[in-house]
Amino acid sequence: MALALSPLAFAAVDPLPFKDHAQELRFQALTKQLRCLVCQNESLNDSSAPLAADLRRDVFQQMQAGKSDTEIKAWLTARYSDFVLYDPPLRGGTWLLWFGPLLVLLAGASAIFVIVRRRAKAAGTSAPTSVRPASDVEDDW
């Protein structure tokens, strides 16, 4: 079991030559904000996919070249679109990502509200057809 799981333990480790601890922390913070394009539910920092390792090296090289986090994100989004960002900007193309879940929730709440009102009206307009006297109810027991 240990032999089977050992490659997974070291898969996401990239031995990169950081200048100092602050640069390493900046790298980790930046790669946590970027999505792995293969895994889609993992950040670049957490992914063990080969493409994620390549992108981590690209981010590292950009950092070594003196680029800011904003410039690195712009470089990645120019190549991979806003999908690479965990927190995509609010634009015409991403408004559904931001407000879609709220719209679905409101549509579901509206549907439930309409159904409950219709049932309440239907129950209020229909009168009972016959009422049994109390003495008949006691005879059933």
Cβ-count burial 26-62 (b if 16+ within 10 Å, e if not): ebeebbebbbbbeeeeebbbebbbeebbebbeebbeb
Output the pLDDT for position 4: 53
Q: Do 79 and 105 lie in a common domain? A: no
Residue 30 lies in a domain: yes
Q: Which region among 44-48, 55-59, 101-105, 122-126 has the lowest average model confidence (pLDDT)?
A: 122-126
Q: Do 31 and 68 lie in a common domain? A: yes
Output the pLDDT for position 92: 72
pLDDT in tens, 69-124: 999 999 999 998 888 888 777 777 777 777 888 999 999 999 999 999 999 888 87
pLDDT in tens, 69-82: 999 999 999 998 88
Residue 129 lies in a domain: no
Residue 133 lies in a domain: no
3-15 mean pLDDT: 51
Indicate whether 5 pLDDT > 70. no
CB-CB neighbours of 123 under 10 Å: 8
Q: Do 74 and 59 lie in a common domain? A: yes
Q: Do 30 and 74 lie in a common domain? A: yes
Q: Do 46 and 101 lie in a common domain? A: no
pLDDT in tens, 123-133: 877 655 555 65
Domain containing residue 108: 90-124
Residue 140 lies in a domain: no
Look up residue 73 and give its two tokens. 């994100």
Q: If we measure between CA atoms, which residue out of 49, 35, 41 comes closest to residue 77?
A: 35
Output the pLDDT for position 73: 93
| Total-model pTM | 0.57
Q: Do 48 and 66 lie in a common domain? A: yes
Q: How many CA atoms lie within 13 A of 76 on its CB side?
A: 33
CATH of the domain at 63: 1.10.8.640
Q: Do 75 and 50 lie in a common domain? A: yes
Residue 139 lies in a domain: no
The total domain count for the chain is 2
